[in-house]
């Protein structure tokens, strides 16, 4: 144990939180860089009903960094002293830095989307079908439109798809417009379809071809969507890649060091 009174505390807050991989991932990174005496990363369950008192407490202490997961990414925003412009545009904060009591909010989720995609292809002028219009979809929409791709948004509640399309630029469609999804170069699922019921998929297998890149942001298991995409010969990106790359960007914000990707990836595997 190398923790001392000088060790900076980082944490992830959420409710529930017990399933989080973030403490293992960040602490493995600190250890690999021999900075595990300078930083420690824990998880705290914080109810949505007590988020205001949590933030007040954080300002009053020297907690260094706070990662936010469900349901806090939007809820924390009114309590922060400053929000960077990317997080403002996305409309969600997943990373908070405490600068001597001044809390500054950032968003690294969009990098979690962008980095694995750009490892496979350039996004310039690509047609991207975004399935879903919730919180995760906003980070995807920002990443995609920022890189000159054309955005097609498909959602069960069409009004939410329309709002997102107006905000980020793109076209909204109902979820059942599978023939249009099929015409995209890249298909990204940000719905929770396939998360709990592993037999569910947001897109029937027959619409997937070997020319597609299929990204499912659900993590923890390989979804039916990705299994079927593999069968069709498509390139796939697992949800844990998003988790990894948003975490690597957070690591840099918390410590100033480049994150040790191989070590942190190993934890997620
Ligand atoms: P939200 O609740 O904000 O959005 C959920 C989305 O799923 C909405 O578009 C909703 O449609 C759609 N949806 C839910 N159930 C159904 C259904 N039965 N049929 C069709 N559409 C459905 O959730 P988030 O965006 O925060 O999270 C979505 C997923 O992304 C989760 O599985 C989460 O774990 C994952 N995620 C992964 C991350 C990573 O790092 N890999 C990071 C963040 C999230 P509607 O608008 O009609 O309700």
pLDDT, tens digit, 9 for 90 and up, residues 32-42:
999 999 999 99
* Total Cβ atoms within 10 A of residue 16: 9
Residues 130 and 213 in one domain: yes
Mean per-residue pLDDT over the chain, rounded: 95
The token duo for 128 is: 């991207």
pLDDT at 135 exceeding the cut of 90:
no
Domain end (from 65, 81, 107): 107
Rounded mean pLDDT, 48-69 = 95
pLDDT of residue 37: 96
Distance, CA of 66 to CA of 75 (rounded, Å): 14
Q: Provide the residue range defining the domain that includes 90.
A: 8-107
Distance, CA of 31 to CA of 40 (rounded, Å): 9
Distance, CA of 188 to CA of 55 (rounded, Å): 33
pTM recorded for the entire structure: 0.94
Q: Is the CB of 247 within 6 Å of ligand 1?
A: no
Give the residue, by CA position, lying nearest to ligand 1 atom 27.
Answer: 136
Q: Which of 73, 85, 198, 252 is catalytic?
A: 73
pLDDT above 70: percentage of residues in the chain: 100
Rounded mean pLDDT, 123-139 = 94
- The answer to whether position 251 is within a domain reads no
Overall number of domains in the chain: 2
Tens digit of each residue's pLDDT (9 = 90 or more) over 184-236: 999 999 999 999 999 999 999 999 999 999 999 999 899 999 999 999 999 99
Distance, CA of 132 to CA of 135 (rounded, Å): 9
Rounded mean pLDDT, 153-159 = 96
CATH number at residue 154: 3.40.50.720
Residues 103 and 125 in one domain: no
Q: Is the CB of 218 within 6 Å of ligand 1?
A: yes
Residues 133 and 202 in one domain: yes
pLDDT of residue 105: 98
Rounded mean pLDDT, 169-185 = 91
- The answer to whether position 29 is within a domain reads yes
Grade residue 95 by pLDDT with cuts at 50, 70 and 90: very high
Cβ contact 240:217 at 8 Å: no
Residues 206 and 149 in one domain: yes
- The answer to whether position 167 is within a domain reads yes
């Amino acid at each position: 144990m190398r923790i001392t009174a000088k060790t900076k505390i980082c944490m992830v807050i959420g409710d529930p939180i017990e399933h989080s991989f973030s403490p293992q991932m960040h602490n493995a990174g600190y250890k690999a860089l021999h900075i595990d005496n300078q930083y420690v990363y824990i998880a705290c369950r914080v109810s949505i009903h007590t988020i205001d008192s949590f933030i007040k407490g954080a300002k009053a202490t020297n907690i260094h960094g706070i990662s936010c997961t469900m349901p806090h990414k939007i809820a924390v925003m009114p309590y922060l002293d400053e929000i960077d412009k990317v997080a403002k545009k996305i409309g969600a904060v997943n990373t908070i830095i405490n600068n001597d009591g001044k809390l500054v909010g950032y968003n690294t989720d969009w990098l979690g989307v962008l980095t694995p995609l750009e490892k496979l292809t350039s996004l310039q002028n690509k047609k991207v079908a975004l399935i879903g219009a919730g919180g995760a979809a906003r980070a995807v929409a920002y990443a995609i439109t920022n890189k000159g791709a054309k955005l097609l948004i498909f959602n069960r509640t069409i009004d939410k798809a329309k709002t997102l399309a107006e905000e980020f630029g793109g076209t909204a469609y109902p979820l059942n417009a599978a023939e249009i999804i099929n015409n995209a170069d890249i298909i990204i699922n940000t719905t929770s379809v396939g998360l709990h019921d592993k037999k569910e998929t947001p897109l029937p297998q027959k619409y997937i071809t070997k020319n597609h890149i299929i990204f499912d942001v659900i993590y923890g298991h390989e979804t039916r969507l990705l299994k079927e995409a593999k069968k069709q010969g498509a390139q796939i990106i697992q949800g844990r890649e998003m988790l990894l790359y948003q975490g690597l960007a957070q690591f840099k914000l918390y410590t100033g060091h480049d994150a040790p990707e191989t070590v942190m990836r190993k934890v997620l595997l």
